[in-house]
Chains A and B, each alone.
Chain A
Amino acid sequence: MIKFSGKTVLNLNINGENLDVVVKPSDTLLYTLRNELGLTGAKPGCENGDCGSCTVLIDDWPIKSCLMLTVEAKDKKITTIEGLKNAPIQKAFVENFAFQCGYCTSGFLMVCNSLALHKPKANNHTIQEWLQSNICRCTGYEEIQSAIKSIINNEI
């Protein structure tokens, strides 16, 4: 049985690297990433799972890191925005002006990246299902839609 109590050093697989980090059981993954590891690409926007700004990938699936305990991420593969290296969606966001203030951008990019990985031929309905997990307050969403569609082999 795994047990964590008080502060512990935990080895986490983040962006392809195994990193030691001090955690206590009540730390959220968002907190650990930002405050212990300096990976501040994931943003707090509500800390309630509503806005998606803190989205990271756990074993390649999008997860709101504000609603995950760091200890849950043991033995999982964590990918943050800092781990995206020249992913097509990043270029697509730049070219389509798919952000303004940029605060929600990391979260949107992680969802888009996972979508492209799992559903490379996602139809409009599926794109919508996935991307409705995030809030952008600056754009009209059309820009983000253009960006995701430019990298999805959209058949319908």
Chain B
Amino acid sequence: MIPFDFEYYKPQTITDTIKLYHDLDLMGRKPIYYGGGTEFISMARMHNVYSEAVIDIKGIPELNIHEMKDNELIIGAAVTLTQIAELNLFPLLSLTVKRIADHTIQDKLTIGGNIAGTIIYRESVLPLMVADSDIVIAKKDAVDRLPLKDVFNKRMNLEKGDLICQIIIKKEYLNLPSIHVKRTKVEKIDYPLITMVALEKDKKIRTAFSGLGGYPFRSSKFEQLLNSNKSNKDTKIKDAINSLQSFITDDLHGSSEYKKFMLHNMLYEALENFEEGNK
């Protein structure tokens, strides 16, 4: 039960949507973009979000695109996690989204919503980070295609009214050797203790994490240490983990020390798997 009333809009074009948002905002209606709505509804019930105008973005064709075009995979922001998993054009992303929330929720949760959500884990951004993805954002005056790394820093850094339209991943990244590991406290259906994705490109391992600290991240320092030419895996991993000392935090899912222990094992296994793959 949502304890407040709002108007519901479902525009059909990006232009209309952006204009609508700004018009409603000017009227003080606290508009909000609505994708799958799973986070909005559960937060609304608890009085943690308020809006008088909900703009459902699922009617916009560009946001529903899910195809290969010109050697790029284009995923509209309104595409659901289940659709991504079923079509499976980017296996690392499929594996990742299949472990977000639960299967039924995946039928509703959109990738745009997961990336831009309030809940800190935003696991679907991890494969996009290691795959140098671009993100298409509709702004007040223009639609821009930007490297994800320029707009995602801890969270999406959007201006009011900006709309995530699409995610674009170059074909060359789609089938590189990759690993997804999600560890939870106990139960499979849970927020991550640690979610890790790793991808090997040009003989370098790229990694991105969620759950270790307050937001998803990819660290060049970390990757540098992990890819160093030291022969002892444990040493490399320890060096890398030590570079994250202050970032890894205690939470309900586990202590920071335990997370480091788990991370060590996950990385060790990942390095072995990549090595195995290169033989």
Contact = CB atoms under 8 A, between A and B. Distances in A.
Contacts of A58: 107
A124 B102 CA distance: 16
Interface of chain B: mostly helix, strand, loop or mixed: mixed
Interface in A111-156: 111, 129-130, 132-134
Given A25-B54, A26-B5, A72 B105 contact: no
Contact of B2 (A5, A28, A48): A28
Contact-residue bracket for chain A: 20 to 34
A61 B81 CA distance: 13
A26 B2 contact: yes
Contacts of B170: none
B268 interface: no
Contact of B104 (A2, A25, A28, A55): A55
Most buried by A among B1, B37, B189: B1
Interface in B163-195: 188-189
Nearest to A31: B1
Contacts of A12: none
A133 B42 contact: no
Nearest to A48: B42
Contact-residue bracket for chain B: 35 or more
Interface stretch (B8-16, B200-208, B253-261): B8-16
B247 interface: no
B143 interface: no
Interface in A1-40: 1-6, 24-28, 31
B276 to A, nearest CB: 23
A41 interface: no
Contact of A1 (B11, B36, B41, B54): B11
A4 B38 contact: no
Given A1-B10, A28-B41, A69-B37, A64 B4 contact: no
Nearest to B80: A61
Interface of B: 1-2, 4-12, 16, 20, 36-38, 41-42, 44-45, 54, 56, 58-59, 82, 98, 101-105, 107-108, 188-189
Given A24-B5, A64-B104, A67-B36, 17 more contacts: A1-B9, A2-B56, A3-B7, A3-B10, A4-B7, A25-B7, A25-B8, A28-B2, A28-B41, A48-B45, A55-B104, A62-B104, A62-B107, A63-B107, A64-B105, A66-B41, A69-B54
